[in-house]
Chains A and B, each alone.
Chain A
């Protein structure tokens, strides 16, 4: 979801004034000549993901011949060796094997390495024809019974390559203190050049490949390949295991279970398109679908990852099973229709299990779209139901402004809030992407009687890596027009404690048994290839409180 969908479809020719880079980006700095040679075969870097106590997914893509370009369907079947070691020089290899790949899977290599020790750092690499890939680093999750002193995750979302450079990923990769990176969706965008770029004029600082909206399997594969050629993204993947989910743009804008805003009949059957997108995602992302690293055995993305007794991350898929968005957000009572869903029945039942008390201390929910109600109607909850039943215009928990979020599916949200309340679930922590802005919120039990009625949990929303935010859309300088909007929203929604519409960056979520803290780091001008990073702010929620307060400073810079 984007703040201003109409702008996105506007066709604006790339001016090139900001320096279009095309697709042939140079790789990152490589540590040794052998690995540099690996660029020939391993052009798309390496990645790891879904760390568990004794397992982790590792990934790469091999280019065995010049013809075997992504999406081409060309090139031979080949066998790639892989190794996992305790040390970066691979003197203590603990697991090794071979993996067969070929054009049937776009020459991607993805496997779930087993037999590792919990809470340990490992190094991994791939070898083809004696040439090694760069070395990646992964860390397994702590054992289920372990009590780690803390856990630290990078949190990112919404990276539009056309908009600008991935400086955010570059700075993320420089950190040494993360257990994993959580990507909350919109890892890539479907648009063609000129359709969604930099700022209000949609300037394409870089141009998407293929040079049109991705629809076919070849399109999706090529687009994934293009993003994976970005050196900053490659560095971030090589540095940490990633825990990912998709939002809409991995298929197309505002997708729902039967269609999407950015899909029409000329683009063919929607479900077939989505299946192609999911296939490419499965091939190109270091993620378990349906619980395995195998291809074609299912596309269930929602899953839980446990980090000892301290935390469990439940990653949601809020696109594949959702009902269609309502057409008229402000007045359509359907947002509260109990037959409409954002999670789907099965996933909602599964989500409730994520809150079961015996699970880890922090119930972290990787939540692609915002769950906190954002309302302009401050009525006590006791009155909303009658007013709603009379007028039919007010959803049961407030007037929403963005019905692509949980605001458009209030029945599911109420189910979650009720479950948390009835089971007295503590430490429910939603981390969210999607809306290209930074938020720290309490999720009210009842908007109208908040704060007396308390909160069901808290939500921290990270800003976008590059995708346009409010100031980019309005074309105004940072911290000018957005401030007024932020203040109006916070005044109408006292459960929202922090809001920033202007910056791009990543967040760091640090968890321990006393509190969870989110630090927001932002970059300077995103159009600057050498954009710098600075710390912006931090918010904390203490265990058992479901409230957020501003913190004094970041856990680490």
Chain B
């Protein structure tokens, strides 16, 4: 199911607490700071611990460097132009840009945000998709728990250096999976029902407040409007994309206001701003739906033994039968899926280039452009027109701008930049030595 998330409401086993309820607990214990901005209530929680890895805050270094990572969720590279996003375009053109930047499998929000912050691929982080089949609970669920993320993040790495880190993430599940890894985190609010995200207007107010009040060395921001409006935009398949274009224009303006604030407060000259998307977007007509549950259950060998994690443009297929039959099952699932209209490719999950771990199941199926998956139910599971996760949604904008001298001016590269490059770039910017055990999977873009 798609990122909207993946089928409307986030999938969480019954009885499991919402990840951000921890923020509510913070509020109850008085560790939560309420900021009033323009009449809107913004809640910021102060967390100091993270998965038992963080310790007492070190003395903050005196570096004036500031890094801001803005994820324009779901933005297509060609959407940054003079028409709807003139400010983003100006920022891009004045900085360093990568014309062939790419999201990585699965082209969904959670895994790519995780790749940005960890600098490692899903086979090392344990986060391959938004929606997986969790064999331990025998159900599908969203990867939105802090313990789902099994790799060190740049947030923690900077924390250990005594630098201040913050997350301002518009989506509930992102707030959930990063948990308390940043020293300061904003709990998304107000949340739009179904979409599970806070509008960019509020997210940007929180980001501004975070800078003004806390002045983090690294702030990681997700802006969800463009993605969310894209998902639900019924004019998407026609190419009109009225809702999405509106969101693009508004978000562009928010970014302009934020950068103006950086300039006016003297921060800009010490800043590096990485702007990228986590994935792109594709739209489908209502009749361009692929549902694999039926074909799998119609196959005598596979019937009742295949679970599906629907990620909009990608289905993850899990063999539930005897392990001894897995190889045969993988081949059979591939064969059955490949015959279904709208399927672009059905690949063994172990394909090296995908770098997906066992959490991603046994077979990964991508749909064609202009199609989407809806599983297990072909009608109700994924009714939204905008989706990603498939290969055509790989292209993303990716540029580094800012006033710091390490940011080159007006250059473009034909290299392929990836979401996984963000963490090593931030580490390089701050001069943080070392790398994860096994090294970065990405590389610094400075």
Contact = CB atoms under 8 A, between A and B. Distances in A.
Contacts, number: 66
Contacts of B81: 542, 545
Given A357-B102, A544-B99, 12 more contacts: A358-B416, A421-B369, A421-B392, A422-B368, A422-B369, A422-B392, A424-B395, A426-B395, A449-B238, A513-B98, A513-B412, A544-B395
Interface in A5-59: none
B393 interface: yes
B33 interface: no
A513 B417 CA distance: 13
A514 B240 contact: no
Nearest to A310: B414
A423 interface: yes
A147 B99 CA distance: 12
Contacts of B97: 513-514
Given A421-B369, A452-B239, A452-B240, A426 B412 contact: no
Contacts of A362: 414
**Closest 8 A/B residue pairs (Cβ):** A452-B239, A513-B412, A424-B392, A543-B99, A361-B414, A309-B414, A544-B77, A514-B412
B415 interface: yes
Nearest to B371: A422
A312 to B, nearest CB: 11
Contact of A452 (B77, B98, B238, B344): B238
Interface string A485-529: 000000000000000000000000000111000000000000000
A352 to B, nearest CB: 14
Interface in B334-389: 344, 368-370
Contact of B239 (A360, A422, A427, A454): A454
A451 interface: yes
Contacts of B414: 147, 308-310, 360-362, 513
Candidate in A309, A422, A454, A546 with the most chain B CB atoms within 10 angstroms: A422
B368 to A, nearest CB: 5
A424 B393 contact: yes
Nearest to B102: A357
Nearest to A425: B392
A309 B415 CA distance: 7
A72 interface: no
Contacts of A452: 238-240
B412 A449 contact: no
A364 to B, nearest CB: 13
B388 to A, nearest CB: 11
A453 interface: yes
Contacts of B393: 424
Interface in A445-486: 449, 451-454
B100 A361 contact: yes
Interface in B67-107: 76-78, 81, 97-100, 102
A371 to B, nearest CB: 20
Interface residues of B, number: 27
Interface string A308-336: 11100000000000000000000000000
12 contacts: A358-B416, A362-B414, A421-B369, A422-B344, A422-B368, A423-B392, A426-B77, A513-B412, A514-B97, A543-B412, A544-B76, A544-B77
Given A147-B415, A544-B78, A514 B99 contact: yes
B248 interface: no
Contacts of B392: 421-424
Interface string B225-246: 0000000000000111000000
B333 interface: no
Interface in B267-286: 280
A542 B78 CA distance: 9
B394 to A, nearest CB: 7
B419 to A, nearest CB: 16
A147 B413 contact: yes
A513 B99 contact: yes
A449 B239 contact: yes
Contacts of A545: 78, 81
B100 A426 contact: yes
Contacts of A309: 414-415
Nearest to A361: B414
Contacts of A543: 77, 99-100, 412
A543 B369 CA distance: 20
Contacts of B370: 421
B329 interface: no
A308 B416 CA distance: 13
B5 interface: no
Nearest to B368: A422
Interface in A409-465: 421-424, 426-427, 449, 451-454
A274 B54 CA distance: 76
B391 interface: yes
A455 to B, nearest CB: 10
Interface in A528-542: 542
Query: By CB atoms of chain A within 10 A, which of B99, B240, B280 has the most?
Result: B99
A513 B280 CA distance: 20
A424 B99 contact: no
Contact of B394 (A310, A424, A546): A424
Interface string B107-123: 00000000000000000
A548 to B, nearest CB: 13
Contacts of B98: 513
Nearest to B367: A422
B99 A451 contact: no
A147 B395 CA distance: 20
A424 B239 contact: no
Contacts of A424: 280, 369, 391-395
A544 B240 CA distance: 19
